Structure 1
Amino acid sequence: MNVPPPLVRVEGAALAFRGRPALRGLDLTVEAGTTLALLGPNGAGKSTLIRLLAGRLAPDSGGIRVRGGDPHGDRAVRGHIGYVPQEIALYPRLSVSENLDVFARLAGLSRSARREAVQSVLARCALEAVAGRPVATLSGGYQRRANIAASLLAAPDLILLDEPTQGVDLDARAAIHAVLAGLRAAGAGVIVSTHDFTEAERLADRVAILSEGRLRLEGDLAALMRPLAAAPPEHEAVMEAAPGPAAQSALREAGFAPEAGDSRLWRADHGAAGGLDGAALLASLRGRGVPAAEIRVRRPGLETLYRDALGALEAAA
């Protein structure tokens, strides 16, 4: 029996810009009907990977395949891919409907097909109420939804999104999440680059964590999260002022480490020493001269996996 190839296969993909590696031999597969969240710090290679998958770039070495074909070299393959860049890629003076008609023409749709496709994506992205308004007059949330709608006109099998909810309010975020959930339910593959752990947990079936152009952790999100169910709660200590050397020593003895770039936030990702609750821990730290304003207690989640993956990298270095 012939087994169809995965929707996306990346094998040993490497790419450098002016001699600086952006991806270093990355391997990844994505099946249809799956949402993959790409996580990683700035410069990790997330946007580069998305542009490779969209066919905007070609790897220096290795292979990129979407539906078994080369998205960079084969225009027909690119026709099955919807790419939503981080920037709003629309004509600000044209209405939403006019923009969609332009992009439908660029996708090669006939006049009758264009009309049907525009109406379909307006409905799918809940844009009917603003269809006649110029894009420049819309809120950021509506602009981002219109940006997504433009990528769906040719009914792509793979949708690539780079920070699709950046800078939008909660209502717009929920609307965009509904669109993406609908795409997955319809059988499309969705790859989302995001810095939002809550968003990734809500949307994704699988997660891939990148750093310095390498894949640090990848797998089924539910399976990766399962061991965390029995893990101790995490603690965050918020300081009233930057702690001095003695207070820093007390924090470290209690299992805390400073948040990068923020001397007033300390974390105990795997539970503070002694198993104290938030109030008791706050009293204990203050008793040792730590200028702690509050202790936040939360269950470990995807952010814990992320920190562990990058922490293991730092420890190895």
Structure 2
Amino acid sequence: MPAPAAEVRDLAFSYRNQPVLDGIDLALARGEAVALLGPNGAGKTSLMRLLAGRLVPSRGGVRVAGGDPARDPAVRRAIAWVPQEIALYPRLTVRENLEVFARLLGLPRAARGPAVARALARAGLDAVAGRLVGVLSGGYQRRANIAASLLGEPALVLLDEPTQGVDQAARAAIHAVLERLPEAGAAVLIATHDFAEAERLADRVLVLQDGGIRLDGRLADLLAGLRAGPPEHEVALSEAAGPAAASALRQAGFHPASPLTWRAGSPTVAGGRDGAALLAHLRRHGVPVREIRVREPGLDGLYRDVTEAPAPVRAPSGAPACKVPT
């Protein structure tokens, strides 16, 4: 069996004496795309920074491409770290940016031109290669950010919210770039709050909460298990629910998925009423219902179940941790 692209064992990290991560065991295979989900403050960015060698663990070890990224600059060059912030020079063109990063990466002079050409092509940036980064849209800037990270043909690609703040067209273009990354043999770890993004891009899903991994499973298996059960009911509202309407929705078995969308996975929603009866029931209780839909369960429902479940008992250091069944 080939060695993983990245591996952590019994990883712990604290910041200002406050534990952030504890007892993390994780292996990322080459050619695998993994979505990293979790509430704000769960430690997703800290885990990615540890994998990138930008933080040093309090306990445990990190290995990427066979070495320690916190100690070995050669190992760090095998890692592509793409943060939420755009890390480019706005007064240089896209091509000039990539040429600068190729030099910083230490690529030999003869290798820089071909590496820049490959990165431009992989990120779909040939048409804007001569334009200043500062005048490009946010979507193009994010694609250029990704292109810069690919210059060294990394073994591990770490992306923190890669489509944050971009429109739907730019999001689709970025997804098209990210979908191809595992084909080059890299392990790809994507921290995201976007469940549709995770379902599109990932082979595997991790849920991080309270400093530990609460769920780790193959996406296809997780979704197959969900979809063997009853469909979800979804209420679309014409305006955000006030206190009385929110109370009526909760009593009917719904929970908020967004300000204008509430969902329930139980087949006995609102006493087993059909769609028309449920619509009438909610409107009688002042709920501003626009429509009721029936949908296949998705990753968002599984995430909710995992994160709302009681936290597993933390085992003492060195002992096996309790895991949420999958």
**TM > 0.5 fold call:** yes
Specify every segment of 5 or more residues in structure 1 that has no aligned partner in the other structure, as ranges.
none
User: Cα distance, 1:7 vs. partner?
Assistant: 1.4
Report what 1:13 is aligned to. 11
1-side partners of 2:262 and 2:64: how far apart?
A: 43
Aligned to 2:301: 304
The offset of 1:305, in angstroms, is 0.8
Per-residue deviation, residues 123-144 of structure 1 (Å, max 9, x unmatched): 1111111111111000000000
Structure 2 unaligned runs (5+)? 314-326
Match of 1:128 among 109, 126, 129: 126
Shift of 1:315: 10
Per-residue CA deviation, residues 36-57 of structure 1 (Å, 9 max, x unaligned), is: 0001111111111111111111
How far has the Cα of 1:243 moved from its partner? Answer: 3.9
Q: Distance in 1 between matches of 2:190 and 2:297?
A: 22
Distance in structure 2 (CA, Å) of the matches to 1:89 and 1:176: 16
Moved more, 208-217 or 30-39: 208-217
CA contact (8 A) 2:12 2:58 kept: yes
Point out 4+ residue stretches in structure 1 off by more than 4 angstroms. 247-250
Taking structure 2 as the reference length, what is the TM-score of the superposition?
Answer: 0.88
- Alignment check: 8 A CA contact 2:13 2:22 kept: yes
For residues 246 and 123 of structure 2, what CA distance do their matches in structure 1 show? 50
* SS in structure 2 of the partner of residue 145 of structure 1: helix
Structure 2 residue matching 1:180: 3-state secondary structure: helix
Give the match for residue 47 of structure 1.
Answer: 45
What is the CA–CA distance in structure 2 between the aligned matches of 1:314 and 1:81, rounded to whole Å?
32
Match of 2:25 in 1: 27
Shift of 1:15: 0.8
Aligned 8 A contact 1:239 1:265 in 2:
no
Amino acid at match of 2:264: A
Moved more, 17-26 or 247-256: 247-256
Structure 2 counterpart SS, 1:142 = helix
1:242 counterpart = 2:242: yes
1:243–1:291: 8 Å Cα contact kept in structure 2?
A: no
Deviation of 1:68 after TM superposition, in Å, equals 2.3
Q: How many residue pairs were aligned?
A: 309
For 1:259-312, what per-residue CA distance to the aligned partner results, in whole angstroms no more than 9, with x for missing partners?
Answer: 69x5x754323342444443331112234x242423343221100110000111
SS in 1 for 2:309: helix
Deviation at 1:178, TM superposition (A): 1.4
- Identity among equivalent positions (%) equals 61
Cα-to-partner distance string for 1:175-207 (whole Å, 9 max, x where unaligned): 211111111122211110011000000000000
Q: Which amino acid aligns with 2:242?
A: A
1:278 is matched with: 275
Aligned partner letter, 2:168: L
| Partner residue of 1:205 out of 188, 200, 203 | 203
Native 8 Å contact 1:243 1:290 kept in 2: no
1:149-298 matches, cutoff 5 A: 149-237=147-235, 238=237, 241-244=241-244, 250-258=248-256, 266-271=262-267, 272-287=269-284, 289-294=285-290, 295-298=292-295
CA distance in 2, matches of 1:120, 1:265: 42
Deviations 1:154-178 (A, max 9, x none): 1111111001111112221122111
What letter is aligned with 2:263? R
